[in-house]
Structure 1
Amino acid sequence: MALFKNTNISFETKNGDTVIGNEAYFQGTLTAKGSLRIDGRVDGSIVDAKIVTVGKSGKVKGDISCEICYICGEVKGNITALDHIEALAGSRVDGDMRSSRIMLEEGALFNGNCAMDSNVLKSAERQAQQQQVKTSKSEGK
């Protein structure tokens, strides 16, 4: 596990970002091909996103599969990121983290297991395929 402090991270939204605002609630599987910022609440899995940012007021109850994940709020679920995961001061993660690089800032709470390896891509692809099968089956009923 690594401990770093990165003060050069910008969490401003840009055009093309998907934002779940403070008062918003989403339930189900959320597929975002670009960047996703969560300031509200998500109950369900997040798949296929490039960058996922869980803001200070954001709460995710479900698994996250993306390229890069920044956590400032709360996540109750497993996180798989192809590039890296950063849990910043004041954040809380209850679940496993798997990525090539994992960074925990002082003051971040982490309760789970972490794995840092180069096989994350295969695992993330397999997880995304399984989630798509589950979604297809539930939509077909």
Structure 2
Amino acid sequence: MFSENKKNKMVENTSSQNIIAQGTKIVGDLNSEGDIRIDGAVEGNIKTSGKVVVGKTGFVKGTLQGTDAYFEGKISGKLALSGTLTLKSSAHIEGEVIVGKLSVEPGATFNVTCVMKGTVKEMNNGGKRKSETEKTA
């Protein structure tokens, strides 16, 4: 009985990862609470609370919503992330991007309109200038 409880706890703590293999094409929407790795092609909308990894052979055409994404492959469409977008040198991104943070390696193609939500929040001090919010002794 002890091993069953221990086993159940281990299963609960394990995160799930969905893999779309090279040579696979999915047309339609994907919703997941776990991580997604794409080495094939997806035409449609992807929504996840996990991390998305698009391998060198991966291609997404549509909208991708999530926390963090790591691209070696391609996307054409809208990318909305609350966390970090990481682009490797082989990445090719076209469309609209909304991110918290952006990391781009030299050689990556980044042809988008981009909004960085994290930077806007840091710069906005409730509409007050820095001199109005700080006091000197």
Category of TM-score, reference length = shorter chain:
0.7 to 0.9
- In structure 2, the partner of 1:123 is none
Superimposed CA distance per residue, residues 4-63 of structure 1 (whole angstroms, 9 cap, x where no aligned partner): xxxxxxxxxx97210000011111110111100000000001012410011000000011
- In structure 2, the partner of 1:81 is 81
Larger of the two Rg values belongs to structure: 2
Taking only the aligned residue pairs, the percentage that are identical comes to 29
Q: TM-score, normalised by structure 2?
A: 0.73
The structure in which a higher percent of residues are strand is 2
Higher relative contact order (CA 8 A, sep 6+): 1
Which stretches of structure 1, 4 residues or longer, exceed 6 Å deviation after superposition? none
Q: CA deviation at 1:80?
A: 0.6
In structure 1, distance between residues paired with 2:48 and 2:103? 21
In structure 1, distance between residues paired with 2:113 and 2:102? 11
Q: CA deviation at 1:107?
A: 0.7
Q: Is the 8 A contact 2:42 2:60 kept in 1?
A: yes
Paired residues for 1:70-109 under 5 Å: 70-109=70-109
Structure 2: segments with no counterpart, 5+ residues:
1-13, 121-137
Q: Is the 8 A contact 1:36 1:49 kept in 2?
A: no
In structure 1, distance between residues paired with 2:36 and 2:55? 10
In structure 2, distance between residues paired with 1:77 and 1:106? 22
Q: TM-score, normalised by structure 1?
A: 0.71
Aligned length: 107
Q: CA deviation at 1:119?
A: 9.5
The one-letter code of the counterpart of 1:107 is G
